[in-house]
Structure 1
């Protein structure tokens, strides 16, 4: 939703600037990820739009769940979001924040879905090749999906390589039907 992204962007930039100023990029990542998960929980989602629940109660609930990772800046940030009734934007804010952080740290989070589990040597070769290709430090996040039959799918933002056997068979089926 473009409107949510437009509203969330200044909050994400403010969070990032505060985190960078206080040398707390990792802590802010944890807080935003946890708070984002909290507001996406169906039990909490209903409270976000309830006129019976005050902004202080909402930010207090999230603060209690986030726990020891909160400091004065992150607590104030959550309170500001709550008072402006913007807590629902936390997933978008967290996502944009991570993009800003990755850009500043020159890193890329790469999702690798493979048909079988990759061993350490394969992960190292893949990370090295992606580092060269993306010109960034690479953090691999690996999953296994046996339905791919063989090969893997690699995603880094808009960059996607689908080298799965399933995709090749699907393309072959399309070519044969024409």
Structure 2
């Protein structure tokens, strides 16, 4: 876990820089795709071995990655070269993730994880999406996750906000109240 949080810290300035370049060029979607593709490449076992190999010349590695990611513009190629020169390609996944968060915020979007005991039907999902959008002032994207341990109800996670409307949560709160 320490490595993951370290990656997050190392990735932050790169994600911010990529976001600023992409936003200025009005190319947030294209940069998001580039960073997602770079993240996928960096997580591939063969590519990861090359990225982390100390004998590989960073400029050669960057050129190979730019070629593999056909259609990369000059700004994107320069970004890949910078990551390669600074030996930061292994944090491409964290950069892509943080870039996606910055982009969602700039576009007024938010992904809300919805944990349900059973499948959420589309009318219920639409109603939930609308209510959350009004409460949070954002365009809401739902990520529905089945969780049979909830018994019934839902748990919502939107950033730091957690709303536990599950039967399990209610029973846990009741048990805690009775034990005091």
Q: Deviations over 1:99-135 (max 9, x none)?
A: 2212211211112221222111111111111111111
Change (3 A) 1:125 1:86: same
Q: Distance in 1 between matches of 2:136 and 2:41?
A: 33
Query: Aligned residue for 1:111?
Result: 113
Query: Aligned residue for 1:10?
Result: 13
Q: 1:54: how far off?
A: 2.5
Q: Matched residue of 1:113: which SS?
A: strand
Q: 1:172: how far off?
A: 4.2
Q: Over aligned residues, Cα RMSD in angstroms?
A: 2.4
Query: Aligned residue for 2:25?
Result: 22
Structure 2 portions without partners, runs of 5+: none
From 29, 47, 55, the equivalent of 2:50 is 47
Query: Which stretch of the first structure deviates more once superposed, 164-173 or 100-109?
Result: 164-173
Q: 1:3: how far off?
A: 4.7
Query: Which stretch of the first structure deviates more once superposed, 145-154 or 162-171?
Result: 162-171
Q: Matched residue of 2:94: which SS?
A: helix
Query: Which stretch of the first structure deviates more once superposed, 139-148 or 14-23?
Result: 139-148
Q: 1:9: how far off?
A: 2.2
From 36, 53, 58, the equivalent of 1:33 is 36
Change (3 A) 1:53 1:157: same
Q: Deviations over 1:55-76 (max 9, x none)?
A: 24433454455444x3222222
Q: Distance in 2 between matches of 1:167 and 1:64?
A: 51
Alignment of 1:1-178 (within 5 A): 3-68=6-71, 70-174=72-176
State the number of aligned residues: 177
Compute the TM-score of the two structures, normalised by the length of structure 1.
0.83
